[in-house]
Amino acid sequence: MIVGKEELYEEAKESLSRIQNFDVASLPRVEDLGARLNFNEVVEPAQILIDLYKRLSVTALQDFPDNVLTPIRDNSNNHYKLFTQIMEFSPEQQDPGTARTNLVKQVVGAYPPAFQALHQYISYSLHRSADFQRLDSDARATLQAIEDKSNKISGDLAKHEKDAKIVLDEIRRVAAEEGVTKQAAHFNAEYEHHTGEADRWQGYAVKLAIGLGVFAVISLFLHKIPFLNPETTYDAIQLSISKFLIFSVMAYMLFLSAKNFLNHKHNAIVNKHRQNALMTHGALVEASGDEGVRDAVLLQAASCIFSPQSTGYAVSGENDFSNQKSMVEILSRPVVQAVSEVNR
C-alpha cells in the first residue's frame, strides 16, 4: 500500500468492523426509557442496515482506492453515530418525544441511501470472497459420490431383477383373480365429481354471457346518462377506457368459465369411458383362450386405472406410446414360445 492509503484503510476497516459487530439488542432501552420513549421500533430496521454492512467483506477493502474507502468509512461512522445517539438518549432533555421521533425516522430511512452507496462494492466483495476452488472441489466430490451411489443402485437393480420379474408375475396373477371391475367405482366417483363441477362452471358461463350481453347493450346508452355524458375529449377517452376494461374483465371471466366447463366435461367423459371399459373387460378375458390376449386386455385395464388422464390443461399433441409397445410385446409372447418349442 502507498503511504496515506494504509491509514485510510485501517480507519475504514475499523469503522466497518465496528458497525458489523454492533448488537441491536441494546437499542430498545425499555427499562431506562419506559413504554413511551423506548426504541423498540428501530430494532428491525437497524438489523437490516447492519446486515447490509455485513455483506461487505473487510478483506475486500484492501482492493479499494481512496475514493471508495472514504464513503465506506463515512457511512459506517455516520450510522454508528446514529446508534450511539440512541444509546445516549436522555429523557430529561427538552422535548424528548420529538427527539426520539427524529432518531427513529433517521434509522428507518437510513437503508435506501446506504444501499445506493454500497451495493456496487458489496457485489465486488462477494465475488472476491467466494472460494471458487473449494466450490469446484466440493462439486467434484459430490458428483463422484452420486456416481458411486448410482453404480451401487444399478448393481442392486441387476441383482434383484429376477425377484422383480417374479413380483410382477404375481401382481398380474392377483389382478387377474381379483378383477379390475371393482375399480370402476372410483371412476364413477370421479365422473360424478367432474359432472358436478362442469354444471357449476356452465352456470357461471351462462350468467357471465348474459351479464356481458346486458352490459354491451347498456354501454350503448351510457353516454346519455347526464353525469356520465362526456363533455370533453378527455372524458370520452376515460369513459371508453372504463367500458373497455369492464368488458375485458367480463369477457376473460367468461372465457375462463367456459374453459373450466369444457375441461371438467372432458374429464367426466374420460372417466365414464374408463368405467364402461372396466365393466366390460371381463367378458373379453373370458372369451379369449389365448394367454397373450388375456395379458393384453389386463394390461389395458390396468392402464385405465393407473395411467394419468388428460385434464385439458396439458399441451396438445402429447401422446404416450409406452402401452402400445407393451401390448405388442405381450401379444408376441405366444409366438416366441411356440418358436422355442419347435426349435427344441
Per-residue pLDDT tens for 55-69?
888 888 888 888 888
Taking the mean position of all CA atoms in its chain, how far away is CA 32? 46
d(CA 183, CA 173): 16
Query: What is the predicted pLDDT for the residue at 261?
Result: 87
**Res. 302: pLDDT tops 70:** no
Please give the pLDDT value at position 290. 65
**How much is the pLDDT for 321?**
41
**pLDDT interval class at 320 (50, 70, 90):** very low
Q: Where are the beta strands (DSSP E) in 105-256?
A: none
Looking at per-residue pLDDT, the higher value among 154 and 77 belongs to 77
Q: At residue 41, does pLDDT exceed 50?
A: yes
76-82 average pLDDT score: 91
**Mean local confidence (pLDDT), 207-214:** 86
Average pLDDT over residues 99-116: 90
Q: Please give the average per-residue pLDDT across 149-168, as a whole number.
A: 80
In 3D, which of 79, 97, 92, 111 has the Cα closest to residue 37? 97
Give dist(CA 101, CA 85) in Å, integer: 13
| 285-303: average pLDDT | 67
Under the banding of pLDDT at 50, 70 and 90, the label for residue 328 is very low
**3: three-class secondary structure by DSSP:** coil
Residue 228's pLDDT is what? 65
131: left (phi over 0), alpha (psi -120 to 50) or beta: beta
The arithmetic mean of pLDDT across residues 250-263, rounded, is 87
Question: What's the Cα-to-Cα distance from 306 to each of 168, 183, 229, 267, rounded to whole Å?
Answer: 15, 10, 62, 15
Which pLDDT does position 1 carry in this prediction?
Answer: 39
Average pLDDT rounded to a whole number, residues 285-310: 67
Asked if residues 54 and 44 have their Cβ atoms less than 8 Å apart, the reply is no
pLDDT at 327: 47
Q: What is the mean pLDDT of the chain?
A: 77
**Where is average pLDDT lowest: 90-104, 137-151, 165-179, 265-279?**
165-179
Minimum mean pLDDT range among 103-107, 161-165, 249-253: 161-165
Neighbours of 110 (CB within 10 A): 21
Nearest alpha-carbon partner for 209 in 248, 251, 242:
251
Does residue 318 have a pLDDT over 70? no
- Express as a percent the part of the chain with pLDDT over 70: 71
What pLDDT is stored for residue 323 in this prediction?
45
Q: Could you tell me the sign of the dihedral formed by the alpha carbons of 135, 139, 145, 148, in that order?
A: negative
- CA 107 to CA 57: how far, in whole Å? 23
Instruction: Give the pLDDT band of residue 47 (cuts 50, 70, 90).
Output: very high
Q: What is the pTM of this model?
A: 0.39
Instruction: Return d(Cα 287, Cα 282) in angstroms, integer.
Output: 8
State residue 250's pLDDT score. 85
Closest C-alpha to 296, from 285, 283, 306? 285
User: What's the pLDDT at 105?
Assistant: 92
In the predicted structure, residue 149 carries a pLDDT above the cut 80: yes
Distance CA 35, CA 42 (A): 14
Lowest mean pLDDT of 133-137, 202-206, 330-334, name the range.
330-334
